[in-house]
Amino acid sequence: MTSDALSPAAERPPVPTAYRWLVLVIISLAMFGNYYAYDCIAPLADVLKAQLGYSDKIIGLLNGIYSFPNIVMVLIGGVIIDRIGTRRGTLLFGTLCFLGAVLTAASGNWMVMVSGRLLFGLGAESLIVAVTTAMAKWFRGKELSFAFGINLMIARLGSFVAQLSPGWAKPAYDHWQWPLIIAVAFSTFCITGPIFYILLERRAENRYALAKEGETDKVVWGDLFKMSPSYWYMVALCVTFYSAIFPFQTFAVKFFMETHGATRESGGQLLAMLTLFAMIATPTFGLMVDKIGKRALFMMFGSLLLIPVYLMMGYTSLSLVIPMAMMGIAYSLIPAIMWPSVAYIVDQKKLGTAYGLMTAIQNVGLFGFNVLVGWANDHWNASAANPGGYHAGMWIFSCLGFFGLLFSFLLRRSETGPHGHGLETIVARDKAPADLAAEAASEAEK
């Protein structure tokens, strides 16, 4: 055993920057597999309809059921993470993701497939909470928004590869099951990523000045509802924003094919363009807000961009590249700012629970709007023969953009008032979180 392993934590050197970024890349592999498995349904929608007779309501349910258990489970998952730590949490929930992907591919019976998506959802959202909590531990006060942007870039690479699969795995789409088997293969990252993360963190605890896990308070459920207005405005923005993005993606390829004459390959490429844009821009936006602040203001701008894009796609013959690029900016900007901002508002010891509560409420919207838009498409007979049947869904998404703008405005108003947490003023520097919090309080009082 080396002298480093025997030295007190206070005498150990800080974690090297390169080591922190290596940890980030490794843990992000779990997100890559997670995102691929989630996004494998959208390019397959028309095949499921043609070969298995699935309606839009069932297709919406395949993604909606992913969110249903997380209305409760992801909050429990956040508490579990606070109690057992991020290491065991990432491995536990990553394993559930893999098993859910296996069950989804096992049968063409819609009830079996829905059950697989439900099991996958049980693990996937809690895995995201665990990974986000782990990043806050390694990067809080040190380029947290930029680190989260890199994490999202790697995660969205999974979505990007899935959305382009009608091209690079074109023969697989001759049969509904083969693309799902490919998703199983990629979901193995949900297990291997956490395993390597555990090894890296254990090594860091023995060599560097890294806080040990397990320093959490007892969860007092009543305290969850005593959080600041800024937290709740961010939760509301989270619900409206993601409800406008992910349920749209569920039907996007089918929508492009039936309303704009796209092929499955070109429809997948359009959807992948959104993801590619976000992969590149999210770290850039994260770095930007780390340097200049103004987080709530930028989230207002991102929400504003969402309002017209769905009506442009539904009512005009404008090139789909334009609204998808606008959506791509919003899809990059808001997540790069919103999730790391929670770490400045909520006490570190309850951060896993706070992320869990936020994600739980988000999933109410994801479940409801996936099913609602699927029902609306069926009710108004949305199809290639009746493209206007998609208009109701486009209006739903556009209204969600408006409410996102409203909640981001209320967040900015709260953060520029006397009880702000510094979201508009904190910039990245090598200072302790306590120092950042003190500065934020001081600036809020001015």
Q: What is the pLDDT of residues 5-39, one digit of tens each?
A: 444 445 777 777 788 889 899 999 999 999 999 99
Give the pLDDT of residue 343. 80
Q: What is the pLDDT of residues 145-167, one digit of tens each?
A: 778 778 888 998 999 999 899 98
pLDDT-derived band of residue 218, with 50, 70 and 90 as boundaries? very low
Mean pLDDT of 164-171: 91
Tokens read off for 433: 């979180």
Whole-number pLDDT of residue 191: 95
0.85 cut: is pTM over it? no
| Burial class, 8, CB count within 10 angstroms (exposed 0-12 / middle 13-18 / buried 19+) | exposed
Task: State yes or no: pLDDT of 169 exceeds 80.
Answer: yes
Q: Kindly tell me if the per-residue pLDDT of 347 is higher than 80.
A: no
Per-residue pLDDT band at 117 (split at 50, 70, 90): very high
Give the pLDDT mean for 300-327: 93
Domains of the chain: 14-211+226-445 (1.20.1250.20)
Q: Which residue has the higher pLDDT, 214 or 133?
A: 133
Integer Cα distance of 32 and 373 in angstroms? 27
pLDDT digits 0-9 by tens, 179-212: 999 999 999 999 999 999 999 888 887 877 665 5
Helix 433-445 and helix 321-345, axial crossing angle in degrees, nearest 10: 100
The confidence score (pLDDT) of residue 216 equals: 40
pLDDT computed for residue 223 by the predictor: 61
| Confidence at residue 152, expressed as pLDDT on a 0 to 100 scale | 80
Per-residue model confidence (pLDDT) at position 224 = 64
Quick one: pLDDT band at residue 217, thresholds 50, 70, 90? very low
The residue that leads in pLDDT, 130 or 69, is: 130
Which of 57-71, 310-324, 337-351, 395-409 is predicted least confidently? 337-351
pLDDT at 442: 37
Least confident of 99-103, 174-178, 221-225: 221-225
What integer pLDDT is reported at residue 373 of this predicted model?
A: 93
Q: Give the residue-averaged pLDDT of 47-75.
A: 84
Share of the chain above pLDDT 70, in %: 87
pLDDT > 60? residue 93: yes
pLDDT tens for residues 389-436? 999 999 999 999 999 999 999 999 988 877 777 787 777 654 434 444
Contact 292, 423 (CB under 8 A): no
Q: How far apart are CA 195 and CA 30, in angstroms?
A: 10
Indicate the average pLDDT of the chain: 83
